[in-house]
Chain A
Amino acid sequence: MAQTAVAGKQRWWDGGKSPFNVEYGKLMMWYFLMSDAFTFGAFLISYGTVRFASNGWPDPNEVFSSVPFMGHAHMPLVFVSIMTFILIASSVTMVLAVGEGHANNRKGVMKYMILTIIGGLMFLGCQAWEWHHLHEQGAWWGRNPFNNFDGSPASTNFTNFFFTITGFHGFHVLSGVVINIIMLIMTWKGVFDRKGHYLMIEKAGLYWHFVDLVWVFVFTCFYLF
């Protein structure tokens, strides 16, 4: 690929060769992720629109200030930073699994896929705790116990958007974990060794990184702004 890309004189659209130079399934995964990006984009932009249309909004430093086993200690953004770190780390193990797949190293792929799955489950566990904690404080769809920055009463827009968008993202993480488990079983059964390549791991990897990518935006929109 390096040579063909560098040569530059390639006439990609004259037929007889793959104009995108990737396998069909991978290209379709990219297009699926594009459509998913627009779905998440629509969610986050509608959140932004409603927030721009509101006079006040709750302070994330007040809402997201709890950490498991720390009682009522005021530790803003600490827990969500742990969640972010877990997701970034699981993205790294996913890339390493793809790298092992390039080397056709079945054991290596399995090792890193297991680590990626553990990372995904840890993230889901953290999110379950966070939802549970907020629910105990009285937050849920249609209910918002938090006041705005300036002490004025907040509408339920904040909790509705928070639970819908983090829930939609969490559901993507769950699907990603299920896909990764299927990939792990297929690797273990030697399916990719028989095929002669590990391109399926790359496609699952694209989806997994996309979930990480969306979290970057969810993190900024809900916890920092």
Chain B
Amino acid sequence: METFESVKQSHAEGDGHGFDRSAIWRTFWILLVITVVELIVGMFIAPHFHSLKIWFNVLYIIFTLAKAFYIIAEFMHLGHEIKNLVMTIAIPALLFIWFITAFLWDGNSYKNLKNTYDPYSLERTTTPVQKTAPAHGHEAEKPGAVH
């Protein structure tokens, strides 16, 4: 009970830098600026460079992880907790690295297998719909040739 009281006490007194308003507003501005940059890239820059899409995605991932870090460390206050607590959250979260790598790899492999062994599926999913794709008129004869 004594221990709990001391925990409560230390929280009730505030731990100095933890809830300093300027740090909160600084985090807010960082999150806002990152989001605005993401939107500018997504709206005005990325649509002009379709071939570089994967690099824009890498950029979005970096921005997203930066935002996640600031929300967890500052807003959720984890950056100001003791190492034991940080590690009990951070180490299980590392499972996501395996989780994401394995599943996306598997999805990609499934696509390659389908495209290799199921030509009908490949054609059906890569042939533009005629009525809504006037810009792809030169490709529109393909479905006609097959059907």
Contacts and interface: CB of A to CB of B under 8 A. Distances in A.
Given A152-B126, A216-B67, A21 B85 contact: yes
B107 A224 contact: no
A48 B82 contact: no
A97 to B, nearest CB: 11
Given A1-B10, A21-B85, A23-B4, A53 B110 contact: yes
A152 B84 contact: no
A77 B21 contact: no
Given A54-B111, A217-B64, A150 B128 contact: yes
A205 B11 CA distance: 15
B106 to A, nearest CB: 6
- Is chain A's binding surface mostly helix, strand, loop or mixed? helix
A150 B136 CA distance: 9
A17 B3 contact: yes
Given A2-B15, A212-B71, A216-B68, A77 B39 contact: yes
Interface residues of B, number: 72
Interface in A17-31: 17-24, 27, 30
B99 A45 contact: yes
Contact of A49 (B8, B61, B104): B104
Question: Which one of B15, B60, B75 has the highest number of Cβ atoms from chain A below 10 Å of its Cβ?
Answer: B75
Interface stretch (A84-92, A119-127, A128-136, A159-167): A84-92
Interface string A167-211: 000000000000000000000000000001101001001100110
B92 interface: yes
B108 interface: yes
Interface in A62-82: 76-77, 81
Question: Which one of A94, A98, A149, A150 has the highest number of Cβ atoms from chain B below 10 Å of its Cβ?
Answer: A150
Contacts of A53: 107-108, 110-111, 114
Given A30-B89, A84-B35, A224-B38, A152 B127 contact: yes
Minimum-distance CB pairs A-B, first 3: A151-B128, A52-B107, A151-B133
Interface of B: 3-4, 7-8, 10-16, 19, 21, 24-25, 27-28, 31-32, 35-36, 38-39, 42-43, 47, 50, 57, 60-61, 63-64, 67-68, 71-72, 74-77, 81-82, 84-85, 88-89, 92-93, 95-96, 99-100, 103-104, 106-108, 110-111, 114-115, 122, 124-129, 132-133, 135-136
7 contacts: A18-B4, A77-B43, A85-B35, A92-B75, A153-B125, A209-B71, A209-B75
